[in-house]
Chains A and B, each alone.
Chain A
Amino acid sequence: MGKVKCECGHVNPRGTILCESCGRALTEEAKKENLVDMRYEGSARRSQTYNKTIIDKVWNFFSSVKVGIWIIVLILVAASFGTILPQEFYIPSNIPAETYYEDVYGTFGKFYYMIGFHDLYNSVWFIALIAALGVSLVIASLDRVIPLYRALKTQRVDRHESFMKKQRLFAEQKASLQASDLEKVREELKKKRYKIREENGALLAEKNRFTRWGPYVNHVGLIIFLFGAMLRSVQGMYIDELLWIREGETLQIPGTDGEYYVKNDGFTLENYKQGEDLEVFNEAIDRVGTVAKNYQTDAILYRDENNDLPGAEPELTEVLHDDIQVNQPMKFESFAVYQTSYRQDEMKAMHFALTNKETGEEFGEVVVDLFNQQETYDLGNGYKVELLGYYPDFDGFTKEGEPTSRSPLPNKPAFLFNMISPEKPDGEVSFVEIQNTMEPLGETMYKMKFKNLETRDVSALTIRKDLTLPILGIGGIIFMIGVIQGSYWNHRRIWIREKDGHIYIAGHTNKNWHGLKREIHAVLDGTAIPEPEDRQKD
C-alpha cells in the first residue's frame, strides 16, 4: 500500500524521507534541505505519515516529543507544589486536616487544603498525568524504534553522493583513493573498533549501533516501573499495617489472615553514652543532648497450625526468633516486619502493701495488674482486699462524687479498695491514686501503701507486604541499562567513497561531535583523503 520505490531500486514504506538503502531524498522538502535530518535516518514514522482517523490523531499527539516534554514539565511543577506545605500523611494524625492547615498556616493553609494540594500525589489529575506519561512513552517509542531499526538494518554501504553531501561532516575532493591510504584508514578504524563494510569501492565504518536502542530500552524500563506501581492497588499485592505490641504480649499479625502471631519479648532503646561510645562523638552528644543508638524489639514469630480449622483454638508453633531493628526488618514469606515507633514505660502493674497505719506493720502485698484485675486479693489470716473500682485514666469526680476515667488506657490509674482485716471484717474503703490517698467514708485503720510500679514498653511494628517490588526492581534495572547504553556510547558512522573521479567522505554521530571529529582527524592523518568539515558551527 503506497510504497515508495527509489531510483536505486529499493522499495521503501510509505512516508519514507530518505531511501532506507542508498539514502537518496525521496520527498520534495528533503531534496531542498542543505543538511538531512538524520535523527531517525529519514525513515517512515507512522506519526508523520497518517493523520486522518481519531486513532491517527491520538497516536500523533502522544508520539510527539514536544507533548512528552510538556507532560514531564507538568508533573515536575505539580510535584513541587506538593512540597510547599506538608502532605496530609505527614501531619499529626490526631488533628483533622480540615482544621490543621488553617490553624497552622492561616489563610494560605486553608486555601491549600481547599484546592486539594494537601493530598496532591493521590489526586486524580496527578495520577492522570502519570498515566499520560506512560501512554506517551509507549507510543513515542513504538513510532520511532521500528522504522529506525529497519533503516539501520537495510542501509547500504555505497550511499548516494547526495546523501553524503547533506551530512553535517562532509568533504569532497577531485582525486582518487589510493590503495595505501585506504589500507591505513582501515587499520586505524579497526584500532578504534569500527566495523568496516566495503562494497563497490565504497567504505562504511560504523560503531556502537546498539547505543541507539538505549532510549527505547530505558523507556521500556520506565513503563515496567509504572506498571508495577499501578499494580499496587490490586487486592493482595500490597499490605501496610501498624501493630502496637506491649512487652510480653503475643498478637495476631494483621494482614496474614490469622496465620501468624508475633510476641514482643522485650523492647530496648539505647542512647549513645559518653565514655562508652567513641570519644569523637562527645562533642555532638554534648551539643544535642541525647542521640538514639538503637530501637529494638526482640520478636518471636509463631504460626497458627489450626488456622485452617474454623473455630479451633490457635495452636502456636515457633517459627523464628529475630531482633527487629530499624534497617533490619524481620522477614517471613513475603512479609517484612519493621521497627517503626515505640512508647516507653507504659504502666503495667502496681504493688501495694496492706499496712497498719499506726504500727507500720505490713500484712501481705497486692499486685494489681492494670490490664487484668482481680476482684479480691486474699492475703490469708483474715486479711483480704477487694477492688471496688478501677479507673485507668482517672479524670476526677462527677458532681455525684463518682470517680470517672477518661480512657481505658492506664495513663493515670486510680483504685477504690475495700480493706478487710480481723479488726474490721466489713472492710474500710480507701481511694488510691498515685501519690494521693483519700478516705471517702471516714478515717481508716489500714492503708494501701504504694510499693512499686511495674512498667513496660510498647513497640510499634509495621507489617508490610509488597509483591510489586520485583517488578519495580526489574523496571529499574532495565531503565539503568537503557540510560547507560544510550548515554555512554555514541553511534558513529564514516562513509568514504570514490565516484567519477571524486572522493567523498562524510561522518555522522548521534551526539558528541567533537569526539567524532577527533577520531576522523586521527584516522585520516597522513593520508590524502580530505578531512571533513563541520557545516553546522554556531
Chain B
Amino acid sequence: MSELAGISSALLYAAFILYLVGTFLFGGSIRQKGLRDGDQLNRWGKLAITVTIIGFIAQLGYFITRWAAAGHAPVSNLFEFTTFFGMMVIGAFILIFFIYKTAVLGLFALPIAIIIIAYASMFPREISPLIPALQSDWLHIHVTTAAAGQGILAISFIAGIIYLVKNIDQSISTKKTKWLEAVMFLIVSVVGFILITTGFALSDYKAEFEYVNKEDAAAVQEFNVPALVGPNEGVLITDGKMNPIVEMPAFINAKKLNTVLWSLGAGVILYVLIRLITRKRVAALLQPLVRNVSSDLLDEISYRSVLIGFPVFTLGALIFAMIWAQIAWTRFWGWDPKEVWALITFLFYAAFLHLRLSKGWHGERSAWLAVIGFGIIMFNLVAVNLVIAGLHSYA
C-alpha cells in the first residue's frame, strides 16, 4: 500500500471515531429544544457539532487522499460508494443542523452514518483500477451527486424516525409500535451483519465449494461465514468446515443469501437480548431521548430535507445517470434494475410531495413515508447491488 493510501485509511478511521464521540456529545446536549433566532446552542451542542465537522473534514481528507492515490475519485466499488454515502449523510446533517439547530437530529444521524460506514468496511477495501466502462468523469459527477441526494433524503428519514419514536404511544402494543420495532430490528440486523462478518474475518474463516452455476458450468465459491445454505450441487472442498444444511437452486446466489441469513439471525439474537434485558421495546428505550423536541419542527425538517434532496437526487441519479449511460452504454435508459430502482425512488418521493401538498399528509403519515423512502434507497444500495445483479453490480 502506498503512503497516501495509508494516510487515507487512517483518516477514515479517525472520522469514524470522531463520529462516535460526536454521538455521545449530542447525547449530552439534547436537553435543549430546537432553537429559534437568538437562542444559543448549549456547550455540549457546540462541542458536538464541532467534533462532527472535524470528523467530516477528516473523512473528506480520506476521500481526497484516496483520490490522489488511485487517480480517480473513490466511488468505484461498493466499499467506496457506501463510505461516501455515509459521508454525505453527515454532510447533509451538518447542512440541516445549521438551518434548524436541533441536537437530537445528530443523536440519530451520526449512529446511522456510523453503521453505514461500518457496513461499507465489510466489503473488499483495496483500491481497484477502473474498468473501461467506468473511465469517465461522469463517474464522479453522477455518483457523487446521486449520493449527495440520497444523503439529504436520509435526513428526512432520520427526522421521520425521531418523530415516530416521539409520537407513537408506547404504553400499548399496536400495529404502529410493531412496524416501528420492525424498523429498529432491521437496523439491529445491520449491526448483526457487521459483528458476524468481522468475527469470522478475524478468525479467517474460509470454506470453498465446487458447484454448478446458473450457466450449467462448474465453478468455485468461497464462503467467509459457515454455510447454512450451500450452492447448487455444491461440494465442500476445504477440510473441516461446516457442510450446508440446505442446498440452493442455481439461480440463487447461496453465498449472499447465507450472509443475509446470518445477519438476520444475529439481528434476532441481539434484538431479543435487548428486549429481555431492558423489558422494553427499542423505540420505547429511545423515547426519553426525544421528548424535548417539537413534533412540528421534526415534521418540517423531514419535509424540508425531501425538498432539498429531491432535486439533487433527480439530477444525480437520473439526469447525470442518463447522460453517462448514453455515452458509456450507448443508450440513456435500458431498464437495468439499478436504473429502475432509481426511478422508483424518484417516483416515490414525487408521490410523497404530492401527498403532502394536496392530501395534507403531515406529521405521522409523512414520517412513515420518509421511512419507506429511505427503505427504498437502502434496498437499491444493498439488495439491488448484491442480489439483483445487473450492469451496475459492483460486487
- The answer to whether A and B belong to the same complex is yes
B-contacting residues of A (Cβ < 8 Å)?
39, 65-66, 68-69, 72-73, 75-76, 79-80, 82-84, 86-87, 89-90, 104-106, 121, 240, 272, 277-281, 283-285, 287-288, 291-295, 325-327, 329, 336, 338-340, 462, 464, 466, 469, 472, 476, 479-480, 483-484, 487-488, 511-514, 518, 521-522, 537-538
Identify the interface centre among B128, B136, B355, B388: most chain A CB within 10 Å of its CB: B128
Given known A72-B350, A469-B326, A480-B315, contact A278–B133 (CB-CB < 8 A) = no
Given known A65-B358, A327-B132, A329-B327, contact A487–B310 (CB-CB < 8 A) = yes
Is B344 on the interface with A (CB-CB < 8 A)?
yes
Q: Look across to chain A and name the residue whose beta carbon is closest to the beta carbon of B319.
A: A476
Bound CA span A295–B249, Å: 35
Identify the interface centre among B132, B303, B308: most chain A CB within 10 Å of its CB: B132
Could you tell me if B358 and A66 are in contact, using CB atoms closer than 8 angstroms? yes
Q: Look across to chain A and name the residue whose beta carbon is closest to the beta carbon of B36.
A: A518
Is B40 on the interface with A (CB-CB < 8 A)?
no
Could you tell me if A327 and B311 are in contact, using CB atoms closer than 8 angstroms? no
Identify the interface centre among B100, B358, B362: most chain A CB within 10 Å of its CB: B358
Q: Which residues of A contact B7 (CB under 8 A)?
A: none
Contact with A along B126-148 (1 / 0, CB 8 A): 11110111011000000000000
Q: Which residues of B contact A295 (CB under 8 A)?
A: 132
Q: Which residues of B contact A513 (CB under 8 A)?
A: 300
- 22 A–B contacts, CB within 8 A, in A order: A66-B358, A68-B354, A72-B351, A73-B351, A79-B343, A79-B347, A80-B341, A82-B335, A83-B384, A84-B388, A86-B390, A278-B71, A281-B70, A283-B126, A288-B128, A327-B328, A483-B310, A488-B308, A488-B311, A514-B297, A537-B296, A538-B362
Q: Which of B345-386 contact A (CB under 8 A)?
A: 347-348, 350-351, 354-355, 357-359, 362-363, 384
Q: Look across to chain B and name the residue whose beta carbon is closest to the beta carbon of A70.
A: B351
Given known A272-B129, A327-B327, A487-B307, contact A280–B2 (CB-CB < 8 A) = yes
B224 to chain A, nearest CB (A): 13
Q: Which residues of A contact B358 (CB under 8 A)?
A: 39, 65-66, 69
Is B304 on the interface with A (CB-CB < 8 A)?
yes
A-contacting residues of B (Cβ < 8 Å)?
1-2, 5, 36-37, 69-71, 100, 124, 126-129, 131-133, 135-136, 214, 249-251, 295-297, 299-300, 303-304, 307-308, 310-311, 314-315, 319, 322, 326-328, 330-332, 334-337, 340-341, 343-344, 347-348, 350-351, 354-355, 357-359, 362-363, 384, 388, 390
Could you tell me if B327 and A511 are in contact, using CB atoms closer than 8 angstroms? no
Bound CA span A39–B128, Å: 52
Could you tell me if B348 and A76 are in contact, using CB atoms closer than 8 angstroms? yes
Return the contact of A327 from the options B70, B133, B334, B335 (Cβ within 8 A): B133
Could you tell me if B311 and A518 are in contact, using CB atoms closer than 8 angstroms? no
Bound CA span A72–B335, Å: 17
Q: Which residues of A contact B124 (CB under 8 A)?
A: 284, 287
Identify the interface centre among A82, A90, A277, A326: most chain B CB within 10 Å of its CB: A326
Could you tell me if B214 and A104 are in contact, using CB atoms closer than 8 angstroms? yes
Could you tell me if B335 and A326 are in contact, using CB atoms closer than 8 angstroms? no
Could you tell me if B135 and A284 are in contact, using CB atoms closer than 8 angstroms? no
Q: Which residues of A contact B335 (CB under 8 A)?
A: 82, 87, 89, 121
Given known A278-B129, A280-B127, A487-B308, contact A69–B330 (CB-CB < 8 A) = no
User: Main SS of the interface on chain B?
Assistant: helix
Bound CA span A281–B124, Å: 13
Bound CA span A338–B390, Å: 20
A482 to chain B, nearest CB (A): 9
Q: Which residues of A contact B328 (CB under 8 A)?
A: 326-327
Could you tell me if A277 and B348 are in contact, using CB atoms closer than 8 angstroms? no
A339 to chain B, nearest CB (A): 8
User: Main SS of the interface on chain A?
Assistant: helix
Could you tell me if A66 and B359 are in contact, using CB atoms closer than 8 angstroms? yes
Bound CA span A75–B345, Å: 12
Bound CA span A513–B100, Å: 12
B383 to chain A, nearest CB (A): 10
Could you tell me if A511 and B307 are in contact, using CB atoms closer than 8 angstroms? yes
Q: Which residues of A contact B351 (CB under 8 A)?
A: 69, 72-73, 76
Q: Look across to chain B and name the residue whose beta carbon is closest to the beta carbon of A490.
A: B307
B339 to chain A, nearest CB (A): 9
Q: Which residues of B contact A472 (CB under 8 A)?
A: 322, 332
Could you tell me if A514 and B300 are in contact, using CB atoms closer than 8 angstroms? yes
Q: Which residues of A contact B340 (CB under 8 A)?
A: 79-80, 82-83
Bound CA span A66–B360, Å: 11
Bound CA span A339–B388, Å: 26
Q: Which residues of A contact B341 (CB under 8 A)?
A: 80, 83
Return the contact of A65 from the options B1, B70, B332, B357 (Cβ within 8 A): B357
Could you tell me if A281 and B303 are in contact, using CB atoms closer than 8 angstroms? no
Closest 5 CB pairs of A and B: A326-B132, A283-B126, A65-B358, A284-B128, A83-B337
Bound CA span A495–B58, Å: 48
A366 to chain B, nearest CB (A): 39
Return the contact of B296 from the options A483, A511, A538 (Cβ within 8 A): A538
A356 to chain B, nearest CB (A): 46
A151 to chain B, nearest CB (A): 17
Bound CA span A462–B2, Å: 40
B342 to chain A, nearest CB (A): 10
Q: Which residues of B contact A292 (CB under 8 A)?
A: 131-132
Could you tell me if A518 and B37 are in contact, using CB atoms closer than 8 angstroms? yes
Q: Which residues of B contact A82 (CB under 8 A)?
A: 335, 340
Q: Which residues of A contact B2 (CB under 8 A)?
A: 279-280
Bound CA span A281–B330, Å: 28
Q: Which residues of A contact B337 (CB under 8 A)?
A: 83
Could you tell me if B314 and A483 are in contact, using CB atoms closer than 8 angstroms? yes
Given known A90-B390, A488-B308, contact A326–B69 (CB-CB < 8 A) = no
Given known A281-B127, A287-B124, A538-B362, contact A487–B311 (CB-CB < 8 A) = yes
Bound CA span A516–B136, Å: 44
Q: Which residues of A contact B133 (CB under 8 A)?
A: 326-327
B222 to chain A, nearest CB (A): 11
Q: Which residues of B contact A521 (CB under 8 A)?
A: 36-37
Q: Which residues of A contact B136 (CB under 8 A)?
A: 327
Return the contact of B311 from the options A75, A329, A480 (Cβ within 8 A): A480
Q: Look across to chain A and name the residue whose beta carbon is closest to the beta carbon of B126.
A: A283
Could you tell me if A75 and B126 are in contact, using CB atoms closer than 8 angstroms? no
A423 to chain B, nearest CB (A): 51
Bound CA span A309–B169, Å: 83
Given known A79-B343, A518-B36, A538-B295, contact A104–B132 (CB-CB < 8 A) = no
Q: Which residues of B contact A277 (CB under 8 A)?
A: 129
Q: Look across to chain B and name the residue whose beta carbon is closest to the beta carbon of A534.
A: B296
Could you tell me if A83 and B388 are in contact, using CB atoms closer than 8 angstroms? yes
- Excluding A283-B1, A327-B136, 4 further A-B contacts by CB distance (< 8 Å) are A83-B384, A327-B132, A466-B326, A522-B37
Return the contact of B344 from the options A80, A84, A483 (Cβ within 8 A): A80
Q: Look across to chain A and name the residue whose beta carbon is closest to the beta carbon of B66.
A: A280
Given known A80-B344, A327-B133, contact A278–B70 (CB-CB < 8 A) = yes
Identify the interface centre among B299, B343, B344: most chain A CB within 10 Å of its CB: B344
B282 to chain A, nearest CB (A): 25
Q: Look across to chain B and name the residue whose beta carbon is closest to the beta carbon of A75.
A: B347
Could you tell me if A511 and B303 are in contact, using CB atoms closer than 8 angstroms? yes
A435 to chain B, nearest CB (A): 25
B135 to chain A, nearest CB (A): 6
Q: Look across to chain B and name the residue whose beta carbon is closest to the beta carbon of A517.
A: B36
Bound CA span A52–B355, Å: 28
Bound CA span A73–B315, Å: 21
Q: Look across to chain B and name the residue whose beta carbon is closest to the beta carbon of A294.
A: B132
Bound CA span A105–B344, Å: 25
Bound CA span A513–B356, Å: 14
Bound CA span A68–B354, Å: 9
Given known A513-B300, A518-B36, contact A483–B311 (CB-CB < 8 A) = yes
Given known A326-B328, A329-B327, A480-B315, contact A512–B304 (CB-CB < 8 A) = yes
Q: Look across to chain B and name the residue whose beta carbon is closest to the beta carbon of A279.
A: B2
Bound CA span A83–B383, Å: 11
Q: Which residues of A contact B390 (CB under 8 A)?
A: 86, 90
